[in-house]
Amino acid sequence: MSRREELTDEQWSLIEPLFDKPPVVVTRGRPRRSEREVLNGVLWILRSGARWCDLPERFPPYQTCHRRFQEWVKDGRLRKVLETLADDLQARGKLDLSECFIDGTFVSAKKGALCRKDQAGQNMKLMAVADRFGLPLGVHTCSASPHEVKLARETVCERFTDERPEKMIGDKAYDSDPLDAELAKLDIELIAPHKANRKKAQTQDGRKLRRYKRRWKIERLFAWLGNFRRIVVRYEYHSDNYLGFVHLACIVILLRNYF
């Protein structure tokens, strides 16, 4: 029986074809550990937030898990798995892009190399888009300095599906006419309540703003991501490795919707 942080047989059967087995090479070294064993070790790190050297002995050596994880990040393996799962869920009717939600959150970066310092300390920003059911549709990381409005387009472009969202719902921070026009060029309708100090004419329809009451779904997605302690605080020096952990967390969330 699989432990909580490990993949079940059914879940592994879905993504096993996406983890191509390397060709067998005769060497004098130790045999290559299976992808599933290594992936379960990385998932333990993701769930617990522990250091690599604290990986339990039931998993492959932590050096092997760390090296293999970096290989997956560099060759885009985790991103490919996400795109395949998202397309399959959409075909099954379990992923709906007719109504999507966007938001961002700050992440403390203890060893981040590319983060800037501000009054709140050394931080980075994690942006996410959720579909109508609250499932992850796209994630994007950046330094803490840019406003979320400036990161909205990049976050949409980082989605896991080829199809674009029809309606994008955000909070008052996304009340921006330039952003509205920018997303309109992508055939995406922006729905966000107006700020109290708005001076320009109102552009939002009150009837469409009723969708805003379901914005809690993006907040729930961030709560789900918060269950994976390794991404609550960024300890990775390179941002790509941190994003790889976020992608892995999204993979686990999507896999839960199959069984």
H or E segment and range at residue 100: strand 100-109
Is residue 1 a part of any domain in this protein? no
pLDDT of residue 259: 74
Asked if the structure places residue 130 within a domain, the reply is yes
**Residue 51 shares a structural domain with residue 153:** no
pLDDT value at residue 226: 95
In this structure, is residue 243 part of a structural domain? no
Per the listing, tokens 């080829």 go with 162
Least confident of 118-122, 127-131, 223-227: 118-122
Residues 108, 65: one domain? no
State whether 70 and 174 are in the same domain.
Answer: no
Mind listing the pLDDT tens digit for each residue in 133-168? 999 999 999 988 889 999 999 999 999 999 999 999
Query: What domain range is 203 assigned to?
Result: 96-234
The three-state secondary structure class of 128 is strand
Task: Dump pLDDT digits (tens) for 32-82.
Answer: 889 999 999 999 999 999 999 999 999 999 999 999 999 999 999 999 999
Q: How many CB atoms lie within 10 A of CB 87?
A: 15
Tens of pLDDT, residue by residue over 212-224, are 889 999 999 999 9
In a domain, residue 129? The reply is yes
| Total domains in the fold of the chain | 2
Cα(140)–Cα(155) distance, integer angstroms: 5
Q: Are residues 105 and 189 in the same domain?
A: yes
Residue 91 lies in a domain: no
Q: What is the pLDDT of residue 25?
A: 61
Whole-angstrom Cα distance, residue 189 to residue 183?
7
Q: What is the pTM of this model?
A: 0.90
Nearest to 149 by CA among 121, 196, 190, 198: 190
What's the pLDDT at 3? 65
* In-domain check, residue 259: no
**Whether residue 39 is found in the same domain as residue 118:** no
What's the pLDDT at 22?
A: 61
Cβ-contact 131, 95 below 8 angstroms? yes
Average pLDDT of the chain?
A: 88
Predicted pLDDT of residue 109: 84
Higher pLDDT, 119 or 169: 169
Residues 145, 230, single domain; the answer is yes
Asked if residue 89 belongs to a domain, the reply is no
Is residue 55 included in any domain, yes or no?
yes
pLDDT at position 101 over 60: yes
State the pLDDT at residue 113: 54
Verify that 223 and 173 share a domain, yes or no: yes
